[in-house]
């Protein structure tokens, strides 16, 4: 199998699985329990928190575990809206955010909030200037992702944080960094970001565990889940100790020779762009300077879902945009205002540290066969 869908999820290293199994078998205590087995589980959670916070460059107390990136996004957006309820009811986000951001924003619209959706340019980029133009006195939240999960575009989160500070805005800044953490620079504390969402399974960790960074001096953040008062009273629910330990172990593994891994992924992305460009009717969509692990392309005129199905039958795993869309048209690609033939043929390749040129060659050969043996239908 050739796996080129790391932006959807990543393989779980054996070392991560071993860590999780050991916790499940031998450190299964409830972290809230007061006897030694419980205290041992509590220390495991706190050690994991320190490990992940170290990679994020923040205080451990600023990091709160959740069930996934989607929960982190929902919590951040809902909490920011509540936090600013006396300031206003205006939110700024982009038209190309993950659905985990767009859907809670749409829910808030149903509750009387006004949401400004910033549109990208033809290359998929958003500028801090667009945020500046949309910013109002009653803006309570700006939510902008770090890396777009379909195009690989980097968004200027640090510049936006600086803009909000210069303007003296009371709006909170949330960043969905699920695709960016440990792939591009990511420093919420240094940038001045108020809230940042993370997920483990994009970096070789398990599914079912994420985190939300909360700026340390951001007081009275409203929990999304009410209950037993775990995570400093901010996120109720018994901590998923095995997943948390797996998250931390994945961070440790990914950080080993990280710069070398990122350079290798960038070289693989560039090699893929060069190799695939030789296929007739294939168009590279990802702009230069994007994330090292994502390449968006279009086989112009050939339906993307047919391409994904055909290559899958040959053991090559790619996606038609985000895996979360489950075959539905992508709002991200629609926002780029591409022609029907181009947008209908969009597929995404995404890479991990272990992806090599042989994987790219196999994918390129399969795509060429699809082009040569199937008729265009768009």
pLDDT in tens, 65-76: 999 999 999 999
**Are the C-beta atoms of residues 291 and 154 closer than 8 Å to each other?**
yes
Question: What percent of the chain stands above pLDDT 70?
Answer: 98
pLDDT of residue 326 exceeding 60: no
Which CATH number is correct for 14-255, 3.30.950.10, 3.10.180.10, 3.90.1010.10, 3.40.640.10? 3.40.640.10
What is the average pLDDT across 39-44? 98
What are the tens digits of pLDDT across the range 274-300? 999 999 999 999 999 999 999 999 999
Q: What is the pLDDT of residue 261?
A: 98
Q: Rounding to the nearest 10 degrees, give the CA dihedral for residues 49, 213, 331, 333.
A: -80
Q: Which CATH class is domain 257-373?
A: alpha beta
What is the average pLDDT across 75-86? 97
On the CB side of 353, how many CA atoms lie within 13 Å of its CA? 19
What are the tens digits of pLDDT across the range 13-40? 999 999 999 999 999 999 999 999 999 9
What are the tens digits of pLDDT across the range 135-188? 999 999 999 999 999 999 999 999 999 999 999 999 999 999 999 999 999 999
Average model confidence (pLDDT) for the chain?
A: 96
Q: Would you place residue 327 in the very low, low, confident or very high pLDDT band (cuts 50, 70, 90)? A: low
| CA 110 from centroid of its chain's CA atoms | 26
Strands 210-214 and 63-66: antiparallel
Q: What is the pLDDT of residue 16?
A: 98
What are the tens digits of pLDDT across the range 356-370? 999 999 999 999 999
DSSP 164-181: HHHHT---EEEEE-TTTT
What are the tens digits of pLDDT across the range 225-257? 999 999 999 999 999 999 999 999 999 999 999
pLDDT of residue 63 exceeding 80: yes
pLDDT of residue 322 exceeding 90: no
Secondary structure (3-state) at 41? helix
**Residues classed as catalytic:** 324
Locate the domains of the chain by residue range. 14-255, 257-373
Q: What is the pLDDT of residue 328?
A: 62
- Contacts of residue 135, Cβ cutoff 8 Å, sequence gap at least 6: 92, 142, 163, 164, 167, 169, 171
């Amino acid at each position: 199998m050739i796996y080129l869908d790391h932006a959807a999820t990543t393989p779980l290293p054996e070392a991560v699985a071993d860590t999780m199994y050991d916790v499940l078998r031998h450190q299964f205590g409830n972290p809230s329990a007061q006897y030694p087995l419980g205290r041992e589980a509590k220390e495991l959670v706190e050690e994991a928190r320190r490990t992940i916070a170290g990679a994020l460059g923040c205080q451990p107390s600023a990091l709160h575990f959740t069930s996934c990136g989607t929960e982190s996004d929902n919590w951040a957006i809902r909490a920011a809206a509540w936090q600013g309820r006396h300031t206003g009811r205006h939110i700024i986000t982009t038209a190309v955010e993950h659905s985990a951001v767009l859907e809670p924003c749409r829910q808030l619209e149903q509750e009387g909030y006004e949401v400004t959706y910033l549109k990208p340019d033809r290359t998929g980029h958003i500028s801090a200037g667009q945020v500046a133009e949309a910013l109002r006195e009653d803006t309570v939240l700006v939510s902008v992702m770090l890396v777009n999960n379909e195009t690989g575009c980097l968004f200027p989160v640090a510049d936006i944080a600086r803009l909000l500070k210069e303007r003296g805005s009371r709006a909170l800044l949330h960043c969905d960094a699920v695709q960016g953490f440990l792939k591009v620079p990511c420093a919420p504390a240094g940038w001045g970001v108020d809230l940042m969402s993370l997920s483990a399974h994009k970096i070789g960790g398990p599914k079912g565990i994420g985190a939300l960074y909360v700026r340390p001096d951001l007081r009275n953040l409203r929990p999304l889940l009410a209950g037993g008062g775990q995570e400093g009273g901010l996120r109720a629910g018994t901590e998923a100790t095995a997943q948390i330990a797996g998250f931390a172990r994945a961070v440790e593994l990914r950080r080993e020779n990280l710069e070398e891994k990122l350079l290798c992924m960038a070289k693989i992305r560039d090699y893929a762009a060069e190799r695939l460009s030789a296929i007739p009717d294939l168009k590279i969509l990802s702009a230069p300077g994007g994330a090292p692990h994502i390449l968006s392309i279009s086989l112009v005129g050939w339906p993307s879902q047919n391409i994904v199905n055909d290559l899958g039958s040959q053991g090559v795993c790619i996606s038609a945009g985000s895996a979360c869309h489950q075959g539905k048209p992508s709002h991200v690609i629609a926002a780029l205002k591409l022609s029907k033939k181009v947008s209908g043929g969009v597929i995404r390749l995404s890479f991990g540290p272990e992806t090599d040129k042989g994987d790219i060659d196999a994918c390129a050969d399969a795509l060429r066969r699809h082009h040569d043996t199937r008729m265009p239908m768009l």
